[in-house]
Chain A
Amino acid sequence: MTQTRNLIDENGKRTDGRTIDQLRDVKITVGTVKNADGSAFIEFGKNKIVAAVYGPREVHPKHLQQPDRCVLRCRYHMSPFSTDTRKNPAPSRREVEISKVMRESLEPAIMLEDYPRAAIDVFVEVLQSDGGSRCAGITAASVALADAGINMRDLVAACAAGKVDEQIVLDINDVEDKEGGADMPIAYMPRLDQVTLMQLDGKLNSEQFNECLDKAISGCKMVYDIQREALMQKYFGNETEVKEEQ
Chain B
Amino acid sequence: MHDVKRLYVIPGDKIVEGNHRPLMNVVKSGNALIATRIGIAEAGRDGVKVIPLSGVYIPRINDLVIGKIVDHTSLSWEVDINSCFSAHLPASDVFGRDFSPARDDMGKHLAVGDMITARVLAFDRTRDPMLTLQDRDLGKIATGELLKISATRVPRLIGKRGSMIQTIEQATHTRVLIGQNGIVVVTGRDPEGINQAVKAIRMVEEEAHTANLTQRIKALLNVPDSPQEGQNDGAKPQEMAESATERTEGLEVESEK
Interchain CA distance A243-B237 in the complex, whole Å: 9
User: In the complex the two chains form, is B29's CB within 8 Å of A117's CB?
Assistant: no
Cβ distance A119 to chain B, nearest Cβ, rounded Å: 8
List 28 A-B residue pairs with CB atoms under 8 Å apart, sorted by A's residue number.
A56-B56, A58-B86, A109-B11, A116-B126, A117-B126, A146-B38, A147-B38, A151-B36, A152-B11, A152-B36, A154-B34, A191-B34, A192-B29, A228-B10, A231-B10, A235-B38, A235-B54, A235-B209, A236-B8, A239-B210, A240-B8, A241-B8, A242-B7, A242-B8, A242-B40, A244-B235, A245-B211, A246-B235
Considering only residues 98-120 of chain A, those with a C-beta below 8 Å from chain B are 109, 111, 115-118
B125 part of interface (Cβ distance < 8 Å) = yes
Interchain CA distance A190-B234 in the complex, whole Å: 36
Cβ distance B147 to chain A, nearest Cβ, rounded Å: 15
Interchain CA distance A57-B83 in the complex, whole Å: 7
User: In the complex the two chains form, is A111's CB within 8 Å of B27's CB?
Assistant: yes
Q: Cβ of B11: which chain A residues have Cβ within 8 Å of it? A: 109, 146, 151-155
Q: Which residue of A lies closest to B125 (CB)?
A: A116
We find that the number of chain A residues with CB closer than 8 angstroms to chain B is 41
User: In the complex the two chains form, is A38's CB within 8 Å of B209's CB?
Assistant: no
Contacts A191-B34, A245-B235 given; indicate if A149 touches B54 (C-beta within 8 A).
yes
Interchain CA distance A124-B236 in the complex, whole Å: 36
Considering only residues 3-32 of chain B, those with a C-beta below 8 Å from chain A are 6-8, 10-14, 25, 27, 29
User: In the complex the two chains form, is B84's CB within 8 Å of A115's CB?
Assistant: yes
Considering only residues 38-80 of chain A, those with a C-beta below 8 Å from chain B are 38, 55-58, 67-68
Q: Cβ of A190: which chain B residues have Cβ within 8 Å of it? A: 12
Cβ distance B217 to chain A, nearest Cβ, rounded Å: 14
B212 part of interface (Cβ distance < 8 Å) = yes
User: In the complex the two chains form, is A150's CB within 8 Å of B55's CB?
Assistant: yes
Residues of B at under 8 Å CB distance from A? 6-8, 10-14, 25, 27, 29, 34, 36-38, 40, 52-56, 58, 84-86, 125-126, 152, 209-212, 233-237
A232 part of interface (Cβ distance < 8 Å) = yes
Most A CB contacts (10 A, CB to CB) among B84, B86, B234, B235 go to B84
The 8 Å CB contact of A239, one of B8, B13, B55, is B8
User: In the complex the two chains form, is B7's CB within 8 Å of A153's CB?
Assistant: no
Considering only residues 181-236 of chain A, those with a C-beta below 8 Å from chain B are 189-192, 228, 231-232, 235-236
Q: Cβ of A57: which chain B residues have Cβ within 8 Å of it? A: 56, 84
Cβ distance B25 to chain A, nearest Cβ, rounded Å: 7
Interchain CA distance A155-B13 in the complex, whole Å: 9
Q: Cβ of A147: which chain B residues have Cβ within 8 Å of it? A: 38, 54
A148 part of interface (Cβ distance < 8 Å) = yes
Interchain CA distance A235-B7 in the complex, whole Å: 13
Q: Cβ of A192: which chain B residues have Cβ within 8 Å of it? A: 12, 29
User: In the complex the two chains form, is A153's CB within 8 Å of B85's CB?
Assistant: no
User: In the complex the two chains form, is A151's CB within 8 Å of B84's CB?
Assistant: no
Q: Cβ of B12: which chain A residues have Cβ within 8 Å of it? A: 152-155, 189-192
Most A CB contacts (10 A, CB to CB) among B34, B58, B125 go to B125
The 10 closest A-B pairs by CB, nearest first: A149-B55, A154-B12, A149-B54, A56-B84, A152-B11, A242-B6, A191-B12, A151-B36, A243-B211, A116-B125
Interchain CA distance A97-B85 in the complex, whole Å: 30
User: In the complex the two chains form, is A111's CB within 8 Å of B84's CB?
Assistant: no
Q: Cβ of A189: which chain B residues have Cβ within 8 Å of it? A: 12
Given A58-B86, A117-B126, 17 more pairs with CB closer than 8 A: A55-B84, A56-B58, A109-B11, A116-B126, A118-B85, A147-B38, A148-B55, A149-B54, A151-B25, A152-B12, A153-B11, A153-B27, A153-B36, A191-B12, A231-B38, A235-B54, A245-B235
A130 part of interface (Cβ distance < 8 Å) = no
A176 part of interface (Cβ distance < 8 Å) = no
